[in-house]
Amino acid sequence: MEGKLNNTIREVDNKLGVKYPKNQILTMQRSLLLFRKSVKSNATFKVYKQYLDHFMKRSGYPKEKYDEISREDKDKIQQMVEDYIMAETSDPTKSPNSGAVRVFALKAFFEINDYELKWKKILRLLPKKVKRTGRLAYTTRDIQEMLSVAKNIRTRALILFLASTGVRVGAIAGLKMKHLKDTPLGCKAFYIYEGSVEEYWTFCSPECSEELEKYHAKRKQDGEIFTPETPVFLAQNHNGDELLPMSQFAVYTSIRRTLIQAGKRDPNNATYGRHEKMTCHAFRKRFLTILKNTPNIKMATAERLVGHLTYKDEENRAVMTDSSYYVPVLEELFDQYKLAIQNLTIDDMVRVKVKETELEGRTKIISEQEKKAHSMQNRLFLLLLGQLKKNPDEIPEGFTQADIDELKYELDSIHA
């Protein structure tokens, strides 16, 4: 049973890029297996394991000795964790805010392996938090400059995809053609995290849809056969005949390279290695900001379109999205999303076309409404005329003598 569990976990972790020691090809050590099963999020486990490996390296343990460190003396482990946290949070090149996630990573490993350390004491060793960097969103101008230097068709499609959907970069590796659906106005819908409790629908703009179709057409031209399981974004290097999806690291590297080429990222100008605009997450911040600033888009819908289960309202109170009773259908979600398409669009000329299409749509709706109103007036006119012919001296209910006089005047004008 344990061997079967190991193989299943490895298949998932290999796709995520989680690295294991060479001598663990067949069997994962029990301490690591418990750790892996206790962390529910794949992305969180990847980060936690990196910090665990770093702790073991700093403490003088080879990273393949997980079981060995899990059997160490409790007091020795307590001192090792305290020394590690104090050393890491005193490093001037690292943010003091990063200490907490290191503690949580070690706490997850040791607790699941029955080590009850003094975590309150360890948490008190964390320094005072500093102002966080990476709080700003990309501007439309920022993304225009990225696209101006992005010559690779995959990179262009990727930039527009992130800008118009607001998805987390971790979702891209699991995105397949079966999760894509055409919607009105030349847009596309994407089913994110299908099969998980976090699954949700979001959309991309016509501008992004067009670039994505060009990217897919290029792949087909190169001989790739598309199936429902085909990755939406493909890795550049393939493992034989297996078509691998673009990894989270590849997404980050592609965007970072484009930022440097556009002169938007100076590697030497960063605070604790971070910039005011996060490489990938700044797309998501822009997307949600635009949705929330667009009139007539509900707050709950905006949060749902980025996959948030909870959010902060105007008074900074935590609100949980009601996924049990508020379950809008795809068409209802798109009716809200399309209100923001113009502001989500990057190219100025495309934005003008979007505006023209929107005005044409409104004109058509108004014209149809006027036709409907005129038809109703005609039917009402005929109904009233019929009643007057039957009973010339009787005023129908809902009308006044002035209405009747006006109608008779119009009838006389028609017969004259």
DSSP string, 166-232: ---GGGGGG-BGGGEEE-GGG-EEEEETTTSTT-EEEEE-HHHHHHHHHHHHHHHHTTPPP-TTSBS
pLDDT for the residue 229? 93
Buried b (16+ CB within 10 A) or exposed e, 269-290: eeeeeebebbbbbbbbbbbbeb
List the single range of 11-15, 103-107, 160-164, 379-383 with lowest mean pLDDT.
11-15
pLDDT surpasses 60 at 247: yes
Per-residue pLDDT tens digits for 176-231: 999 999 999 899 999 999 988 888 999 999 999 999 999 999 999 988 999 999 99
Residue 55 — very low, low, confident or very high, per pLDDT cuts 50/70/90?
Answer: very high
Looking at the DSSP bridge assignments, the partners of residue 320 are 310
pLDDT for the residue 108? 93
Distance (Å, whole) CA 230 – CA 247: 14
pTM (whole model) above 0.75 = no
Determine contact, residues 187/204, Cβ cutoff 8 Å. yes
pLDDT surpasses 70 at 269: no
pLDDT, the chain, mean: 81
CA–chain centroid gap for 259, Å, is 20
Q: What is the percent of the chain with per-residue pLDDT over 70, rounded to a whole number?
A: 70
Per-residue pLDDT tens digits for 278-299: 889 999 999 999 999 999 998 8
Question: Helix, strand or coil for residue 18?
Answer: coil
pLDDT for the residue 317? 66
